[in-house]
Structure 1
Amino acid sequence: MAHAAPLASFCKSFLDPIVVVVVLYLLAIPFEIAWNGYLLVWAALAFLLSAQLLDGTFLFVPGVSRPLLGLGRFVAGWGCVVGFLWLIGRLSGFNAYFYPPFLIAWHLSAPLVLIGVHALFRAMLLSPRDAPLARAVVIGANQAGTALATRIRENPELRLEFAGYFDDRHVSRLEGIGEEELLGKLATLADYVKANGIGHIYVSLPMTSQPRVLSLLEDLKDSTASIYFLPDFFVCDLIQARFDHVGGIPVVAVCESPFVGMSSVVKRVSDIVLALLILALIWPVMLAVAAAVKFTSPGPVLFKQRRYGANGESILVYKFRSMTVMEDGDKVVQAQKNDQRLTPIGGFIRRTSLDELPQFINVLEGKMSIVGPRPHANAHNEMYRKLIRGYMIRHKVKPGITGWAQVNGYRGETDTIDKMQKRIEYDLDYLRNWSLWLDLKIVMQTATSMARDRNAY
């Protein structure tokens, strides 16, 4: 099979969760567990968590001859699935409906069955190592074309041999392309394909070159090569790019929220579970901070400020009051070092992020997430959206209590455009690469970095 990546994606999204659920139901038979609504709910939770947390590619890592290279990550992922299920069951009392040995047997057998299924799929569907390589050429030595050629060279599991490029430009105009890699101009492509047994042709021409593409396809009708069109998406700032259908019409998403479909359910469930767990642990701290705020300065305990939520909708974000002012208008001045507006304990609770704790209530309300781009005051949004390209894309998702930018050092005052630009770059990187793994990583990094952060005041 020339393309292992779609198979790996299939395993991660569908095969692994289905196997997990099938093992659960099959084990229910010898343990005499009824196939009722309780088991259905447990199976649904297991399916959703497995789809997000299991690294379904652990036996299909491209370019790696050792198929168990990712086994450690797979085991850790299964441990997270079990941990989340245990936590949900503990908080809801759901664990009481199941015989403990039944759950233990499932915890141990499901990963073993998964490993066996992966090994079977690899043996049956992936090409043998001694199978002949399919020769491939790329039409258009642009950024997208060269990126594809690099992937082909670096991933032997694709079973492709990169022959070279076809491009009408002279080699001197092609950055990073050797003269031996340029096989000729587009007019010579059809003859070269037939004479050299080319099996795969990847067309990487700009979107404005439709006439050239149509002419090229006409010339290739006399060959048996598989032809793929590689849109030059490098001209776009892609956010969750993927193929989709609207009423049966194929469309390409180039800017979309990562939280659609099953991902939105997993994100919301993880937010609720984590928020409840954290609130159960920190309520004494919240009471102490609330009392300290009340008795050290006049004014309310909570500060409510309008921020942009998902899709740019206005929401009220809660914080413990750390200043003597309650700015929420068209002009909001960011907190600065030695700010005279800070209350006696304001600097401490801001530096330690204790002022953010009420936002876990925002999470339970559905207005915020545990992890996401940090919300800015509306006045700052209106200013920065005019200065930073792509600024508003961060509002395709709910704002977070912590975020990828914050754990990478961009927390607190952004007194220059460059600092805000870097924060936005990390926010957009989070949107491109979201996974439940990344959320858990950010939560853990936040917990370990709060005490030593020097950027918040």
Structure 2
Amino acid sequence: MRLFDVAMVLCGAAVASQIRFAYVAEQSFYVAFVAFAAAFSLALFPSFDVYGSPRGRSALGLVREVSLGWLIVQGCALALMFSLHRLDAVSRLWFAYWTAISGGLMIVGRLIIHAIIANMHNAGMSLNHVAIVGCGAHCDSIVEKIDRARYSGFRATVAFNATPASGHINARIPVFEEHEAFVDYVRSHDVHEVWLALPLSQEHTILRFVNAFRDDLVNLRFIPDVRSLALFESGVSRLLDVAAIDLLASPLSRDARLKKEIFDRGFALAALIVLAPLLIGIAIAVKLSSPGPVLFKQRRKGADGRIFTIYKFRSMRLHAQDAGILRQATRNDPRVTGVGAFLRRSSLDELPQFFNVLCGDMSIVGPRPHALEHDDLYQKVVPGYIHRYRIKPGITGWAQVNGFRGETDRIEKMEKRVACDLYYLLNWSFGLDMRIIVTTVFKGLRGTNAY
């Protein structure tokens, strides 16, 4: 796959040259640009798990990882060419063709391989047969997940009900309640995996099966049922080389946070370069609209509760404010200037926050940061409010694109906003971030709740 990716980088560049120039570009800086991108792909793709095992991975996940990795590679290559003062000599149209063609070829290649492997699994080839030891609904949910992901190469073949007194397992596979009969079945039917889908209180059952299969070539995996304890779907961290189950921690893994960080910095840098003329124009308009500074600065709470200074274009006239009391903008607020009203409705007043993203204080997508006075108030009355700060706050977010922005004059509005933020934390993916960004672009210029 590494050789395939390098070949697609070269092939995409050649095809883009034929489309743009009607010949293969041979200038030294074009050759260097393509070589840099090929080298960066070999160095960075492993960090995005592009070359991981396809077993258990969805086609959408593969597309997401390759797309993100390739965009980051191209961003690094652009930055390197810029530092060498060769970027102005490169055709932007050629670069766009090259990025689209090479990325498309890499994605199509992986989708073809994924489809071939999925068809093999559906045909019963190269399957890992799984036996599940569980209790009630948790065991049923594991079986259902395996059935839905038939491309994964796993097949649930048998289950063991660890707590028959508390209810039956409704799986479509044979269910045992006698330990020795289950162990004999696993050994005699070529079962490759035994998954222990048990709550932490079932330690004796876990030890019993560990001892039973200690001398067998069976993969024994523990999938703990911690639904009664964990706020988020629990992940596993490694602390001092020891596995730890995260009960109350950021649901985004370290790798996910790293990918998000790389994307955020690259996106913010590109946005500031592209939007520089607009930023200058807005700054002039704000300065002419009323006396005062161009930027509005305010202390906000970031990831893990760290305080930072957020930047916005000033949209209000200078006014006195009582210490410790924050008055939100309301409809027809006399403090808001004419220019400021337009900036707030269109969300253009938020553009300076790309500097916050570039500095590492914010993310492109995430829960919107609130004023410190609001944090002190709502943390006491809105369940789950504090967990918004388990990741970096964002310029836009799931709550904003669903209409929960602007004034929060009723507690119900904040509860709905927090519910959206927690949904985002539980369901984060690169695809969801892209969806929010695209929706923000189309909805940003016609906001109705910000005034």
Deviates more, 1:399-408 or 1:283-292: 283-292
Rounded to whole Å, the distance in 1 between the matches of 2:409 and 2:43 is 41
Question: Where does residue 410 of structure 1 map in the other structure?
Answer: 404
Alignment match, 2:376: 382
Count how many residue pairs are aligned between Structure 1 and Structure 2.
431
Query: Distance between the aligned counterparts of 1:290 and 1:268, measured in 2?
Result: 28
2-structure distance, mates of 1:363, 1:167 = 50
State whether structure 2 residue 261 is matched by structure 1 residue 264: yes
Bigger shift: residues 108-117 or 141-150: 108-117
Q: Percentage identity across aligned positions?
A: 29
Deviates further, 376-385 or 388-397 = 388-397
Describe the shift of the 1:263–1:365 C-alpha distance in structure 2 as closer, same or farther (beyond 3 A).
Answer: closer
Q: Which amino acid aligns with 2:87?
A: N
Amino acid at match of 1:378: L
Q: In structure 1, how many angstroms separate the alpha carbons of the residues matched to 2:186 and 2:371?
A: 59
Of residues 74, 87, 91, the one that matches 1:95 is 87
TM-score normalized by structure 1? 0.73
- Asked whether 1:138 is paired with 2:135, we answer no
How big is the shift at 1:317?
Answer: 1.6
For residues 422 and 80 of structure 1, what CA distance do their matches in structure 2 show? Answer: 34
Would you say 1:428 and 2:422 are equivalent positions? yes
Match of residue 11 from structure 1: none
Structure 2: segments with no counterpart, 5+ residues: 15-24
- Note if 1:446 corresponds to 2:443: no
- CA distance in 2: counterparts of 1:188 and 1:153, whole angstroms: 24
CA contact (8 A) 2:41 2:70 kept: no
Deviation for aligned residue 1:378: 0.7
In the alignment, the residues of structure 2 paired with residue 446 and residue 102 of structure 1 have an alpha-carbon distance, to the nearest angstrom, of 28
| 2:284 equivalent to 1:287 | yes
Q: Render the CA deviation track for 1:315-343: whole Å, top value 9, x for unaligned.
A: 12223132654658433233333445545
The AA in structure 2 aligned to 1:374 is R
User: Is the counterpart of residue 207 in structure 1 residue 200 in structure 2?
Assistant: yes
1:313 matched to which residue of 2?
306
Using the TM superposition, give the Cα deviation of residue 406 of structure 1 relative to its aligned residue in structure 2, in angstroms: 0.6
Q: TM-score if structure 2 supplies the norm length?
A: 0.74
Give the corresponding residue for 1:8: none
Secondary structure of residue in 1 paired with 2:183: helix
1:212 counterpart letter in structure 2:
T
In the TM superposition, what is the alpha-carbon distance from 1:277 to its structure 2 partner? Answer: 1.9
Match of 2:242 in 1: 249
In the TM superposition, what is the alpha-carbon distance from 1:75 to its structure 2 partner? 10
Tell me if the contact between 1:405 and 1:426 (Cα under 8 Å) persists in the aligned partners: yes
Shift of 1:149: 0.6
Displacement of 1:288 after TM fit? 1.6
1:190 to 159, 162, 183: 183
Q: 3-state SS of the aligned residue for 1:395? A: helix
Q: Give SS of 1:415's match.
A: coil
- Secondary structure class of the residue paired with 1:228: strand
Moved more, 419-428 or 313-322: 419-428
Q: Is 1:371–1:439's contact at 8 Å kept on the other side of the alignment? A: yes
Aligned CA distance change for structure 1 residues 144 and 265 (closer, same or farther; 3 Å): same
Matched residue, 2:349: 355
SS of residue paired to 1:330 = coil
Change (3 A) 1:177 1:162: same
Report how far residue 448 of structure 1 moved: 1.4
Structure 1: state its 5+ residue gaps.
1-14
RMSD (Å) for aligned C-alpha atoms: 4.8
Contact residue 25 and residue 35 of structure 1 kept, 8 A:
no
Match status 1:153 vs 2:150: no
Distance 1:340 1:448, change over 3 A: same
> 2:142 corresponds to which letter in structure 1?
L
Q: Partner of 2:326: helix, strand, or coil? A: coil
- CA shift for structure 1 position 396: 3.4
Does the residue aligned with 1:360 lie in a helix, a strand or coil? helix
Q: Per the alignment, in what secondary structure is the counterpart of residue 216 of structure 1?
A: helix
Instruction: Assess if the C-alpha contact under 8 Å between 1:52 and 1:435 holds in 2.
Output: no
Quickly say closer, same or farther: Cα 1:267–1:450, change in 2 above 3 A.
closer
Conserved 8 A contact 1:369-1:400: yes
Superposition deviation, residue 98 in structure 1: 6.5
1:139 is paired with a residue whose SS is strand
The answer on whether the counterparts of 2:302 and 2:393 sit within 8 Å (CA) in structure 1 is yes
